[in-house]
Structure 1
């Protein structure tokens, strides 16, 4: 009995697939791009995901991340796109990868990118509590500390022509980037034979993959959203200085080397100003360099810092 499963992923770049033929050829799962950023939707998502589900494949969808935008709005965009199709056994993925020109990461620290990913995953997990939520990301993102722990990992790495078939991928050493367990390996986007399509190997047998997708005990652990630190919680419109400083440090707007104090001070004000520079929608009206966090800004900072 095989201990792996075969799959592909598609987006608007791929035409409609013969999903029944692909399943008969040994495919077990398929994922389709659903959304990107705060408002963009993939034009072929509905057609792809309907075909995937009709063929009886393990279905999933992914969202291309813009960590320098609002995580809550991006999660809402994805949730709205997939809600008509998601159900038991549906897999959700955050596609966290840098554009070649860096435009979707621009202006963000590693801590802020990790906070974004944590918040997006938590929001989608809350929307689909009985379904798996994972992350698709690269070795460089893992090494940079962009990825929260405890989430299933879909990992892209392309050895080239020596590994561009499922048989070659099964014979290859299982990747372990930064010591992380890989649930699915995307091993090529340009196979030597067949159309240009991303090929993926799941390290679970077909029956085990279906069980895992339905929240069975097999495979990687499900994600548990982080808890607020003791003494820190939502609903505070005038947070204490130390509480605010903790959130600013968790999101990378204040250096961790700064000692928290019972007063705001210039370093706290500068950190709040950096937060507002990145999120101008939370500034007080008419201000360009705001050092007052405000209730809406405070709520947004909490979401970034603690994923709730």
Structure 2
């Protein structure tokens, strides 16, 4: 599997020699821009200017306080990064609970998910065409805080300090059934990540000319079941394209009326109903939309 290397920095890190890091094989770098409704990272401007000047794939992140106003937090982030954002710039919501829970306190899972959706929507509106993702843990994914289909930057440190080569040789993590786009595999001596794309594919993705890396046919990547209400005609998402490809693979390919495989159309409905009949469902149980059981079975390779 093709991968490329990156790091992330904040005020805790001093000035970096970004040109030398790029020469050593670094491809992307993300810098903390803001936190909460008013916080700004003191070294953000220095870091992001250096990242961009070196020709790395740039990104910024905002540390979330889901018990504050999501629109105010989005506005804080937008103002911080606006002078530097442009084509090829990526945006990340750092969604992680403080050890004492102070930034999540008083909020339910449903409220946190709504908060995340609002923040993402506000930032996407401010930077149309630019890429936005979420950095979060397996626990937060299990809690359902992140909308299905959101690019995932996932932190998990199985070894402590480790070189890139160790992460590149390891199996790709699958937190709560998700397929991360980026894995932050260590924080020692600093935060290091690998992206599950080649350098060229990541640049294309960041530039808006590619959706996500195309999975190998024998090992497709899928997202957890997003809920029956998600499957509305006209919905466009890479999840739809993955569903389309898998239905073709199992022989339920009624796609004469589906022009775009990443948009839900009548062909998708007919194909999925054929899949549900294939599983033994009948009557209303075999009708669109998908259910969690048939979705899970569809996404098992070699069914």
Alignment correspondent of 1:216: 209
Do structure 1's residue 201 and structure 2's residue 187 form an aligned pair?
A: no
Q: Tell me the secondary structure at the aligned position of residue 93 of structure 1.
A: strand
Asked if 2 retains the 8 angstrom alpha-carbon contact of 1:160 and 1:188, the reply is yes
Aligned length: 217
Distance (Å, rounded) in 2 between the aligned partners of 1:20 and 1:6: 14
* Contact 2:197-2:213 within 8 A present in 1 as well: no
Residue 217 of structure 1 deviates from its aligned partner by: 2.2
Partner of 1:259 in structure 2? none
- How far 1:146 moved relative to its partner? 1.3
Deviations 1:85-137 (A, max 9, x none): 00000000000000000000000000001100000000000000110000000
Q: Distance in 2 between matches of 1:149 and 1:117?
A: 12
Partner of 2:128: 129
1-side partners of 2:77 and 2:131: how far apart? 15
Indicate the SS of the match to 1:108.
coil
Using the TM superposition, give the Cα deviation of residue 183 of structure 1 relative to its aligned residue in structure 2, in angstroms.
Answer: 0.3
Uncovered stretches (5+) of structure 1, i.e. residues with no partner: 191-195, 222-226, 231-308
Q: Output the aligned Cα RMSD.
A: 1.8
Deviation of 1:220 (Å): 6.4
> Which residue number corresponds to residue 104 of structure 1?
103
Q: Which has the higher contact order (CA 8 A, sep 6+)?
A: 1
1:172 is matched with which residue? Answer: 170
Which residue does the alignment assign to 1:21? 20
Query: 2:248 matched to which residue of 1?
Result: none
**Structure 2 residues not aligned, in runs of 5+:** 215-228, 233-303
Counterpart Cα distance in 1 of 2:151 and 2:3: 16
Contact 1:151 1:220 (8 Å CA) reproduced: no
Secondary structure (helix, strand or coil) at the match of 2:16 reads: coil
Q: Structure 2 length as normaliser, TM-score?
A: 0.69
Equivalence for 2:114: 115
Q: How many angstroms does 1:82 deviate by?
A: 0.1
2:182 alignment counterpart: 184
2:236 corresponding residue in structure 1: none
